[in-house]
C-alpha cells in the first residue's frame, strides 16, 4: 500500500528537501502552504493544499480528504505581521489546531513535529542529549518548548502518535539568506560575479552542530516510518561542533576568486549561544541512521545553488 504524507509549510527550506526525499521513496505527498508564501523549497511534483494551518476547519477537511498515513509538521511563521497576532502565538496555535484536527479526523497518522536545539539554550555540558534541561532564552526557543509540551499532552491524553525531532543547525542547498551558511554562500557567489571580494560575518567564535539538510530529512523519514520504541524525542544532529570562523573559511577555500573575511559588528545577533554540539546516539540506536554527507560536500552544494541563482538573476546577490 502506498504511504501518503502531508507536509505543512511545504514551501520552506527543510520541507522542500523532505518532499524530495518522500517522493523518491514512492510516497504520495500533499503539501500545505499559504498562497502568499515564497519559500525556498522546490517540492516539485507535490500536490498542494493552499490554506492556513491555523484554520482548523481547513486542516480537518484536508486530513479527511487526503487520509494521510504520515504527517510532518514543519510550518513556521517568522515575523509576518500581515497574518495578525505575534509569530509565536500563531505557531503555537497552528500546532494546537493541527493536533486537534488529527484527533477529530478519526485517523491515526504517524506525526513528526520538527522542533529545534534552541529549546536547550546554552548548556554547559556538551554534547547535548535529550535528557538535558530545557532552558531556552529566545522567543523562538520558548515557543518550540510550548509546542513540544502540547504534543506531549495530545500524546498522553488522546494517544496520538507524535515524535519530536530536535533539529540542530542545518546546512545545504537552498539554505535561507537569514541563516549564516546561506548568507556566506550568497556573498561568495556575488564576489565571483564581480561583487565585493569580501564576506562579512558577525561573531566568529561561536560554534554550531551543522548537519546537511538531506541527512536531516532522512532522519525525519526514518523516525516517522519506523518504530521509535519508548522514546518520543530525538536529537537530529551531526555530533560535531564547527565555529563560525571555520565555516567561513570553508566557503573562502571553495570560492573561485580570492575572498577576504571581514568581521562586521552590525551582523551580531542578540541571544546568540557560545556552543551547541548535540548527541544523536538515541536516534542512531533506534533507526540505525547516521550522517552520510560531508561538510565539504554541503558547502559545495550550497555554492552551486547560490551560483545558479546569481547567474539567473544577472545581479550580485549579497546576503
Q: Are 148 and 167 in contact (CB under 8 A)?
A: no
The yes-or-no verdict on residue 173 having pLDDT over 60 is yes
Query: Global pTM?
Result: 0.92
Q: Which CATH number fits domain 4-169+211-236: 3.30.300.30, 3.40.50.720, 3.90.76.10, 3.50.50.60?
A: 3.40.50.720
What local confidence, expressed as pLDDT, does residue 42 receive? 54
Spell out the domain ranges in the chain: 4-169+211-236, 176-209+241-275+293-313
Strand 169-171 with 110-116, pairing = unpaired
As a whole number of angstroms, the distance between CA 159 and CA 162 comes to 9
Assess whether the region 4-169+211-236 and the region 176-209+241-275+293-313 belong to the same CATH fold. no
The yes-or-no verdict on residue 268 having pLDDT over 50 is yes
For domain 176-209+241-275+293-313, the question of CATH label 2.40.50.100 is answered with no
What local confidence, expressed as pLDDT, does residue 258 receive? 96
The 10s digit of each residue's pLDDT in 129-159 is: 999 999 998 999 999 999 999 999 999 999 9
Dihedral class, residue 194 (left if φ above 0, else alpha if ψ from -120 to 50, else beta): left
Structure-block grid coordinates of residue 262: 571581514
85: pLDDT confidence band, cut at 50, 70 and 90?
Answer: low
As a whole number of angstroms, the distance between CA 77 and CA 90 comes to 7
User: Could you count the other beta carbons within 10 Å of the beta carbon of residue 283?
Assistant: 24
Q: Please give the distance of CA 145 from its chain centroid, rounded to a whole number.
A: 16
Amino acid at each position: 500500500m502506498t504511504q501518503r504524507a502531508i507536509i505543512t509549510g511545504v514551501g520552506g527550506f527543510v520541507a522542500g528537501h523532505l518532499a524530495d526525499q518522500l517522493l523518491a521513496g514512492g510516497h504520495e505527498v500533499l503539501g500545505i502552504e499559504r498562497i502568499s508564501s515564497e519559500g525556498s523549497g522546490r517540492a516539485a511534483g507535490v500536490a498542494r493544499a493552499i490554506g492556513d494551518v491555523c484554520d482548523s476547519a481547513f486542516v480537518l477537511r484536508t486530513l479527511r480528504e487526503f487520509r494521510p498515513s504520515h504527517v510532518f509538521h514543519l510550518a513556521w511563521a517568522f515575523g509576518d505581521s500581515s497574518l495578525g497576532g505575534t509569530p509565536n502565538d500563531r505557531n503555537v496555535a497552528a500546532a494546537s489546531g493541527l493536533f486537534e484536527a488529527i484527533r477529530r479526523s478519526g485517523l491515526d497518522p504517524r506525526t513528526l513535529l520538527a522542533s529545534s536545539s534552541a529549546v536547550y539554550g546554552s548548556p554547559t555540558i556538551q554534547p547535548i542529549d535529550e535528557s538535558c534541561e530545557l532552558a531556552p532564552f529566545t522567543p523562538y526557543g520558548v515557543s518550540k518548548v510550548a509546542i513540544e509540551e502540547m504534543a506531549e499532552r495530545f500524546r498522553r491524553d488522546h494517544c496520538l502518535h507524535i515524535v519530536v525531532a530536535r533539529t540542530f543547525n542545518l546546512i545545504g542547498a537552498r539554505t535561507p539568506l537569514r541563516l549564516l551558511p546561506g548568507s556566506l554562500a550568497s556573498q561568495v557567489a556575488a564576489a565571483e560575479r564581480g561583487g565585493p571580494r569580501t564576506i562579512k560575518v558577525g561573531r566568529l567564535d561561536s560554534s554550531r552542530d551543522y548537519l546537511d539538510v538531506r541527512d536531516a530529512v532522512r532522519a525525519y523519514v526514518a523516525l516517522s516510518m519506523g518504530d521509535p520504541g519508548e522514546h518520543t524525542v530525538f536529537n537530529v544532529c551531526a555530533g560535531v561542533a564547527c565555529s563560525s570562523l571555520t565555516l567561513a573559511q570553508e566557503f573562502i577555500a571553495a570560492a573561485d576568486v580570492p575572498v577576504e573575511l571581514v568581521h562586521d559588528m552590525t551582523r551580531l545577533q542578540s541571544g546568540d549561544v557560545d556552543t551547541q554540539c548535540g548527541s544523536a546516539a538515541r536516534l542512531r540506536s533506534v533507526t540505525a541512521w547516521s550522517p552520510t554527507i560531508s561538510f565539504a560536500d554541503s558547502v559545495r552544494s550550497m555554492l552551486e545553488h547560490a551560483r545558479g541563482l546569481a547567474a539567473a538573476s544577472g545581479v550580485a546577490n549579497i546576503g
